[in-house]
Structures are given as C-alpha cells and as structure tokens.
C-alpha cells in the first residue's frame, strides 16, 4: 500500500516501448576495497572506469545496480549488494544500463497525475539495508521541475493500493520512471509543457 513510505530503490520494469523487463544487464568492474555500500536498486555512476554508487544528484547515471560477483581467497561469491570495503579480486557489478530501460520507484511524498510525462525529479539518496540488500533510494517529490533532473515519471504503477486519484493512496505513490540524466542518453531535454 502506498499510504506508507517504504522506499526500496529502483526495480527494473521494461524497455520503453517494449514488453516487460528481461533483466538484461551488463557487468562493470568494482574497485577492490571500494568503501561505499552499493545496494540492489541504487543508481550507479562511472568513476575512472569503476562503478560507484550515485553520491550527488548532478552526476550522470550509468544505470541501476542489481547485484555483483567477486572472488575472495580464490572462492567466487555472488551478492545482491556490495558491502563497503570488500577486498576482492575480479569484482563486477551487474547494471541495468540501457538508457531506454524503465524502473519502478516509490516517491517520498505525494505526486499527482499531472506529474506524469511532464515533470522531472531528483533522487532521494536514502540509505539501503544490509539485511535485505535493498536500496533506500526514492523519487524526491520536493524537487519537481520542468528543468533538468535525474528521473521522469512516465506512468503510475497499476497495482492495488496505488491509485494516484485516491488521496489515501497517493501519499507515497509507486511510479514507473526513466532515467533522464543517463551517460548514454544522447538527447537530453528539459520537460516541456503539454
């Protein structure tokens, strides 16, 4: 139910204009000892060839982190999230990096149907959970703008308890979004008035 805030990052939904998500992802290296947690559903960036968690909303996104693999003492490991400071060789992040990919994310406050396909929003960089491995990122509803921002909502998620036209259900709506500020989005424009 979206009357309760429970942000858990961005979840892959589909390729825009296509069918439901196939979970297609590419691997990118993580520096051994990288000292920040990267949670499943976090937006990630590229820093000197390595995956880093999004630290400032003005960075360009590489995509969304969905897990990693690495080797510790000769033993391969797989995880839903990267634990800060992990000393490992052959560390790779799995990243949904298609600029046409869409994601489901919860807003941290109320949004309206008028925001869909007409407003852009930044990301609330919430802390993830080392218990579940899930991100704490959310759509930051207070940053609504027709200017440049990280996310653009393109639809309201069609599920019970998420009707944006019902006041009790729109307090923290789940929205389908696309990443506007993506490293491979060669056309980047501000929102336009309809």
pLDDT band per the 50, 70, 90 thresholds, residue 132: very high
pLDDT band per the 50, 70, 90 thresholds, residue 15: confident
Q: What is the pLDDT of residue 165?
A: 85
DSSP state of 106: E
- Nearest by Cα to 150 from 93, 188, 115, 111: 188
Mean pLDDT of 154-176: 90
pLDDT band per the 50, 70, 90 thresholds, residue 194: very low
CA separation, residue 186 to residues 28, 47, 59, 99, 171 (Å): 21, 19, 15, 9, 34
Q: Above 70 in pLDDT, residue 193?
A: no
What DSSP assignment string belongs to 29-65? E--TT--S-B-BT-EEEEETTEEEE--STTSPB-EEE
> Domain coordinates of the chain in residue numbers?
18-96, 100-179
Q: What is the pLDDT of residue 192?
A: 47
d(CA 192, CA 148): 11
pLDDT band per the 50, 70, 90 thresholds, residue 54: very high
């Amino acid at each position: 139910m979206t009357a309760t805030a429970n942000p858990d990052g961005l979840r892959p939904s589909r390729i825009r204009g296509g069918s439901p998500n196939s979970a297609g992802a590419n691997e990118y290296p993580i520096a051994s000892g990288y000292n920040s947690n990267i949670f499943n559903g976090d937006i990630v960036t590229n820093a000197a060839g390595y995956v880093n968690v999004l630290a400032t909303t003005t960075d360009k996104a590489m995509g969304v982190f969905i897990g990693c693999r690495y080797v510790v003492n000769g033993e391969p490991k797989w995880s839903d999230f990267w634990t800060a400071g992990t000393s490992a060789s052959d560390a790779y992040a799995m990243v949904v990096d298609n600029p046409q990919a869409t994601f489901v994310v919860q807003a941290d406050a109320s949004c309206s149907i008028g925001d869909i396909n007409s407003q852009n929003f930044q990301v609330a960089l919430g802390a993830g959970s080392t218990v579940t491995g899930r991100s704490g990122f959310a759509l930051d509803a207070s940053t609504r703008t027709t200017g440049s921002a990280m996310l653009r909502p393109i639809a309201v998620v069609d599920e019970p308890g998420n009707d944006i036209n019902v006041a009790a259900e729109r307090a923290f709506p789940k929205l389908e979004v696309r990443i506007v500020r993506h490293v491979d989005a060669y056309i980047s424009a501000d929102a336009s008035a309809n």
